[in-house]
Structure 1
Amino acid sequence: MTAAPRQGSRIQQKNRRVILQAALSEFSTRGFNGTTIDRIAETASLSKPNVLYYFPSKEAIHLQLLETHLDLWLDPLRALSATGEPREQIMGYMRRKLDMSRNYPQESRLFANEVLQGAPHLERIMAGGLHDLVAEKAAIIADWIAQGRIAAVDPHHLIISIWALTQHYADFEVQVRAVLGQTRDPFAEAERFLDHLYSRMLAL
């Protein structure tokens, strides 16, 4: 009596995962406005009515993806600790962000496309959670500077620069590979370069 509902639940969970993975591919490539339910259904190898059975709209799928991956996006900064050695903490944050670009390029482009559209679905998070988290970590960096433990830099712009110099490798991957060629490993090279850059920037 209970076998059929459990099987149905597994099928539903599988279909939801397939739809979300297909939508991630579409949104990260085409952006929100360029993606349609028809495209998501085609990529997922499901019918449009089947997709709409699980999600009422394109907006619902997009919001689900953003909410699902939000912690993944913010966790590297959350891990920066006031109790650690300052340069190790900042360099570790940079490396975690670069690893995210390497391992989660579609997720990175999903958020990049959202921000380029004015972040309509992330407005609350941008104004609240992200702002507060950056302010908290910037205050830690400012304390390290005041204690003479690292060179004087603007803490907010230091964090923003890490975003720019790591996320670029995912968000503009086609451009990076066009410049470097297909035989070079952009992430290994980037890590060596950024280690050198930030080591010198933060040295007293």
Structure 2
Amino acid sequence: MPSDRAPTRIQKKNRAAILEAALNVFSSHGFRGSTVDQIAAESGLSKPNLLYYFPSKEAIHTELLSGLLETWLAPLHDLDENGDPLEELLSYIRRKLQMSQELPRESRLFANELVQGAPRIHEALSQNLKALVDEKTTLLTKWMNQGKIARVHPYHLMFSIWALTQHYADFEVQVRAILGDEDPFEGAETFVDTLYRKLLTP
């Protein structure tokens, strides 16, 4: 948005409407299958008005991904070295599952970006995400060495947590097709808690 002045209330509202519309469009069609025209129509703004705020489809997508990465990494940042190791991990897993329930579009947006090779966030993955995961797997290894949690491969533990919890958002159509009217999250938390509690209890 070309201005050195603070955005007005209307400008903030329009910008938020564009990002909300883009989240719907990108999470449904992926980056390649989405167009500025679709996003403009979804937002209720004209295409020229949208382009006043964002110069391209890629600029909108990048903005969404930047905010999403911060949200996605917050639970991992919160893993507390001074807490009870097993409960810290189970709390992290529950928060990840909760995010799949409450932020399914965001999860699919992130998944679509990764499937495409992460062209817009590869640097963030290889630097910020890797540094954080390295830090937390070092903590996991410390807890394992202290006998506070069972010894498993720390990186593959993280991968399995992401894969299992995010499955409910990324493959929501498949999950709901199989379960029918049953709420998938009613049994999911109990299942993942039991699974990882048994896996990680020394």
Residue matched to 2:38 = 39
Q: Whole-Å Cα distance in 1 between the matches of residues 137 and 98 of structure 2?
A: 22
**1:142 partnered with 2:122:** no
Cα deviation code 1:145-175 (max 9, x no counterpart): 1111111101111111000000010111001
**1:187 partnered with 2:177:** no
Q: Whole-Å Cα distance in 2 between the matches of residues 154 and 91 of structure 1?
A: 17
Q: Whole-Å Cα distance in 2 between the matches of residues 69 and 141 of structure 1?
A: 25
CA displacement at 1:117 relative to structure 2: 0.6
CA displacement at 1:34 relative to structure 2: 0.4
* 2:60 partner amino acid: I
Aligned residues: 198
Q: Whole-Å Cα distance in 1 between the matches of residues 49 and 34 of structure 2?
A: 17
Cα deviation code 1:15-71 (max 9, x no counterpart): 111111000000111110000001001111111111111110001000111112221
Q: Whole-Å Cα distance in 2 between the matches of residues 92 and 147 of structure 1?
A: 20
Q: Secondary structure at the match of 1:34?
A: coil
Residue matched to 2:85 = 86
Identical aligned residues as a percent: 56
- Write the mapping of 1:147-166 to structure 2, written as runs, cut at 5 A: 147-166=146-165
TM-score (norm: length of structure 1): 0.94
- Write the mapping of 1:122-137 to structure 2, written as runs, cut at 5 A: 122-137=121-136
Q: Whole-Å Cα distance in 1 between the matches of residues 92 and 54 of structure 2?
A: 35
Q: Whole-Å Cα distance in 2 between the matches of residues 93 and 84 of structure 1?
A: 12
Residue matched to 2:117 = 118
How large is the Cα RMSD of the aligned pairs? 1.3
Compare 64-73 and 191-200 and name the one that shifted more. 64-73
Q: Secondary structure at the match of 2:8?
A: helix
* 2:199 partner amino acid: M
Q: Whole-Å Cα distance in 2 between the matches of residues 68 and 146 of structure 1?
A: 35
Q: Whole-Å Cα distance in 2 between the matches of residues 130 and 67 of structure 1?
A: 12
Structure 1 runs (4+) deviating above 6 angstroms are none
Residue matched to 2:18 = 19
Residue matched to 1:109 = 108
* 1:202 partner amino acid: L
- Which one of 189, 193, 200 corresponds to residue 198 of structure 2? 200
